[in-house]
Chains A and B, each alone.
Chain A
Amino acid sequence: ETGVTQTPRHLVMGMTNKKSLKCEQHLGHNAMYWYKQSAKKPLELMFVYNFKEQTENNSVPSRFSPECPNSSHLFLHLHTLQPEDSALYLCASSQAAGSYQPQHFGDGTRLSIL
């Protein structure tokens, strides 16, 4: 496998459920990112991990909880979500968060909250 892989591709959940999004990169990168993409809005950065350390939390509500066990894997744990959290969630990786290297993105998880 190459590139950035996200699972699941689609997720429908109720507001009281707990689920997790998974991201895995096979590019040898050291930085990983979570973005939220809503219709007609710019891509919103949620979290950044650089060498497994969280370096950015862009005022994300606590119902989103990231986890980065190693440089290749990134999770986004979800609980008690709201309807406005329905969006495409994109994971990305890059060589290092402080460089000008381009980010490589996964296909995203399309999340729908009932």
Chain B
Amino acid sequence: AQKITQTQPGMFVQEKEAVTLDCTYDTSDPSYGLFWYKQPSSGEMIFLIYQGSYDQQNATEGRYSLNFQKARKSANLVISASQLGDSAMYFCAMRESTGTYKYIFGTGTRLKVLA
């Protein structure tokens, strides 16, 4: 069963507007971490934001925020005031605490910011 699901293969957003990238996950582990990464066309994966399963508040990092809804098992990334440089692939990932060292990645969402 797929543990990380990103249902939006591609998204468009107008420059300076906000956009939400969806991520749902599946785990029975009460302790886990959720991550978002950005991958520009150059290939490097850039860490954006982290949310722990026990964190009471939604994570924020500059223009990035994570809309964490634990009961629904969703961890959507919100990018505010989009910029042209935000055009990239975005990956959601999860790390469980079950003793393995695996970070599980979704298939990604390609975001295109329009001028």
Contacts and interface: CB of A to CB of B under 8 A. Distances in A.
B50 A100 contact: yes
B91 A43 contact: yes
Interface in A88-112: 88, 90, 92, 97-98, 100, 102-108, 110
A50 B44 CA distance: 22
A88 B44 CA distance: 10
Interface residues of B, number: 25
How many of chain A's residues touch chain B, expressed as a range? 20 to 34
Contacts of B50: 100, 102
Given A100-B50, A102-B35, A104-B47, A42 B106 contact: yes
Interface string A52-64: 0001101000000
A106 to B, nearest CB: 7
Contacts of B46: 105
Contacts of B33: 100
Given A58-B102, A90-B43, A100-B52, 12 more contacts: A42-B104, A42-B107, A43-B105, A45-B103, A48-B101, A90-B45, A98-B99, A98-B101, A102-B35, A103-B35, A105-B45, A105-B46
Interface of A: 31, 33, 40-43, 45, 48, 50, 55-56, 58, 88, 90, 92, 97-98, 100, 102-108, 110
Q: Which 4 A-B pairs have the closest CB atoms?
A: A100-B33, A105-B45, A97-B101, A43-B105
